[in-house]
A and B are shown apart, each in its own frame.
Chain A
Amino acid sequence: MEAGTITPAGGRSSESLQRSPAARLPDRLLRWGLTALAGGVIALIGYFFVKLIVESEPIFQKVGFLDFLFTSDWVPSKGLYGAVPLLAGTLITSAIALVLGVPVAVAAALYITELCPRRIRSPLTVLVELLAAVPSVVYGLWGFFFLIPKLGPAERWFADTFSFVPFVGGSVTGPNYFVAGLILAIMILPITSAISREVIATVPSEHKEAALALGATRWEMIRMAVIPYARGGIAGGAMLGLGRAIGETIAVTLVIGNAPTVGHSLFQQGYTLAAVIANEFGEAASDPTHRAALIAAGLVLFVLTLVVNAIARAFVLRAERGQRAARTPAAGMAA
């Protein structure tokens, strides 16, 4: 595409090849139009962030920023806005989702890419990804009418039998942290599994063949060649799942019980940042302080997901960069 390599020959001057200003207009319009569009996206997100901060200002003025985050009484009718129960609920349910969901997601990814017969590979992939097609409210509906009643006895048995384990013993309520975490685990499964699968598929076959040639069994090959190589990407996938879990609203609202307290065990009801917004925005319309408190909850939620997603992106980027380096021989040697 070097312009200099083409010399105008045979009397055709470069001027005659040049487009008239009128003919260049559509290109200009396109360039400016699309650039404006791209700039608009940035402006929109900027406005979005500023708007959330400005609108949540009243609550920080009234209760104080630290008190909002670190006191634990959420009683809007008495003007008490301490977000600890909400934060705790969000973090507890997301942690349960990670603990239950990630091993299953990674196992499914490993099985699909490394172990399963070729014939069932693509049907299996589609089946796992279909979980992503189920809307959140349907998960909630299912959790409310199926999971809560069916899991109840098992939860009570577990709480009684392992009551010596911290945060397990004690009374069991129908809707609770564990059910919400379990639903979230199912919901983050497809994304975590899809990213893990993509990363595992990039492991060079040389590495795997080398392990097998040295006499490794299939599992040893996975453990020594595949997992170390894909670890960063898998962590990134898990973090993206975490981002989803933190922001999930409707399914959690239906199964967590919506009690603004910090439960004493996994099997007690609680509340999350997202659920409180969904439940209370109606009554908050007439009370500016309450509304600001909910917007502040949204702001905290936004910042949390922002941080988690930034970490996820760093993991995935580093995994990709590492792979690019490994593909060029010299860098591969050095590593």
Chain B
Amino acid sequence: MSALALPPTSARRRRADRVARGLVALLTLVALVPLVLIVYYLLKQGLSSIGLDFWTTDPTGSFLGSPGGIKSAILGTIVMVGLATAVAVPVGVGVAIWLVELGRASRFAHAVRYFIDVMTGVPSIVFGLFVYITLVLAGVGGSSFAAWKGSVALGLLMLPIVTRSAEVVLLLVPDTLREAAYALGAPRWRVIARVVLPTALPGIVTGVLLAIARAAGETAPLLFTAAVVNDTTFNVNNRMNSLPALIFQNVGQAQDRLVQMAWGAALTLVAMVLVLTLLARMIQRRSRLS
């Protein structure tokens, strides 16, 4: 048996192993440094400005005195992202269902998949530019900048995320479930609505939440489409404020009060996005699929 024993690993190789593993661990630590720093600075700068008053008053826009709160930006973000979600989710999930249940491996389905991939890669500012050209400059709906145009840009951004994630989950639904339903004589729409979708629902919801989180943090497309204002409005044909646009606007102003407000808005935004992201992960973990 002793003939089988390997010679001991040389000291040089052991040292190389230790050094390399240490380096990898160190780099992993480096990856966490920015997160810690960002969270630390957000809390340090932002905590002092947030509060109930901050969330429930509009920005005053006055040059002197109190800069006010961020109510209009919070509500604007919710309205615009909500509107984008209401359109992008049915369409996105519909396309995913078509890809998985009907299109499958046809040439047309490959083309659709390719275009969805292309859409995923389009920078958000280019979507913003597109909406700016087609809707804002053309004055569609009798207004130039309008909240619903911002929603269109955000929806374009969300659509591929929703479709890709829904497609992955729908593919995970076992074929045996579908076959069992067909064997019982169910028509296709009923199989999709009553068997496939409910099974895949948690996964689809996860994808939707991640898409919402992504859209809520987008700035560039909103600058072109919804612009920045101070007052709260629920009329989607008007300009509407949003958290990211407000932050961007305030960073450019060399006034401490406005920068302070930007930090508070940033903390609020990150908290909103974080809650959505963690919620998405929790639902994903509960899901029976994957």
Interface residues of A (CB under 8 A from B): 1, 17, 19, 23-24, 26-27, 29-31, 33-35, 37-42, 44-45, 48, 51-52, 55, 103-105, 107-108, 110-112, 115-116, 124, 126-128, 130-131, 133-142, 144-146, 186, 189, 193, 215, 217-220, 222-223, 243, 246-250, 254, 274, 277-278, 281, 285, 294-295, 298, 301-302, 305-306, 308-309, 313
Residue contact A127 to B98, C-beta cutoff 8 Å = no
Can you give 7 A-B contacts (C-beta < 8 A)? Answer: A27-B187, A34-B95, A137-B266, A139-B38, A145-B41, A247-B126, A281-B223
- Report yes or no: B28 in contact with A134, Cβ–Cβ below 8 A: no
Indicate which residue in B28, B247, B269, B273 contacts A111 across the interface (CB closer than 8 Å): B28
Q: A107-B23, A249-B125, A250-B248 are in contact. Are A30 and B192 (CB under 8 A)?
A: yes
Is the beta-carbon distance between B259 and A38 smaller than 8 angstroms?
A: no
Contact between B118 and A306, CB atoms less than 8 A apart: yes
A35 to B103, CA, bound (A): 8
Interface of B is mostly: helix
Contact assessment for B219 and A243 in the assembled complex, using a CB-CB cutoff below 8 Å: no
Complex CA distance for A138 and B219, rounded to whole angstroms:
10
A249 to B157, CA, bound (A): 15
A329 vs B6: C-alpha distance in the bound complex, in angstroms? 29
State in angstroms the CA–CA spacing of A215 and B219 once bound together: 53
Task: A45 to B45: give the CA distance in the assembly, Å.
Answer: 42
* Apart from A41-B91, A217-B14, A247-B121: 13 A-B pairs, beta carbons within 8 A: A1-B179, A38-B95, A42-B111, A52-B133, A55-B133, A108-B27, A135-B266, A138-B42, A138-B217, A249-B124, A254-B251, A298-B129, A313-B117
Kindly identify which residue among A38, A144, A285, A313 contacts B251, using a CB–CB cutoff of 8 Å.
A144
The segment from B29-37, B52-60, B194-202 found at the interface with A is B29-37
Q: Can you list, as one digit per residue, whether each of B226-258 has a CB less than 8 Å from chain A (1) or not (0)?
A: 000000000000000000100110010000000
Complex interface: chain A residues within 8 A of B112 (CB): 38-39, 41-42
Q: Are B244 and A142 in contact (CB under 8 A)?
A: no
Q: How long is the Cα–Cα vector from A45 to B277 in the complex, in angstroms?
A: 28
Of all chain A residues, the one with the shortest Cβ separation from B179 is A1
Also in contact, A281 and B24, with CB within 8 A (given A134-B38, A215-B6, A220-B13): no
Say yes or no: is B224 at the interface (Cβ < 8 Å to chain A). Answer: yes
CB-based contact B219/A250 at 8 Å? yes
Taking A128-B31, A138-B266, A217-B17 as contacts, is the C-beta distance between A42 and B115 under 8 angstroms? Answer: yes
Which A residues are CB-close (under 8 A) to B281? Answer: 126
Residues of chain A with a CB closer than 8 A to B45's CB: 145
Known: A31-B102, A142-B41, A217-B13. A131 touches B34 (CB 8 A): yes
Contacts of B211 in A (CB 8 A): none
The answer to whether A37 and B91 have CB atoms under 8 Å apart is yes
Q: Chain A contacts of B91 at CB under 8 A?
A: 37, 40-41
A-B residue pairs, 3 tightest by C-beta:
A247-B123, A135-B217, A107-B27
Residues from chain A with Cβ under 8 Å of B185 in the complex: 17
In the bound complex, CA of A278 to CA of B129 (Å): 9
Q: Is the CB of B270 within 8 A of A302?
A: no
B25 on interface, CB distance cutoff 8 Å: yes
Q: In whole Å, how far is A18's beta carbon from the nearest beta carbon of chain B?
A: 11
How many whole Å from A250's CB to the nearest CB in chain B?
A: 4
Q: B91 — nearest CB in chain A belongs to which residue?
A: A37
Asked if residues A277 and B129 are in contact (CB atoms below 8 Å), the reply is yes
Interface residues of B in 96-146 (CB under 8 A from A): 97-99, 102-103, 108-109, 111-112, 115-126, 129-130, 132-134, 137
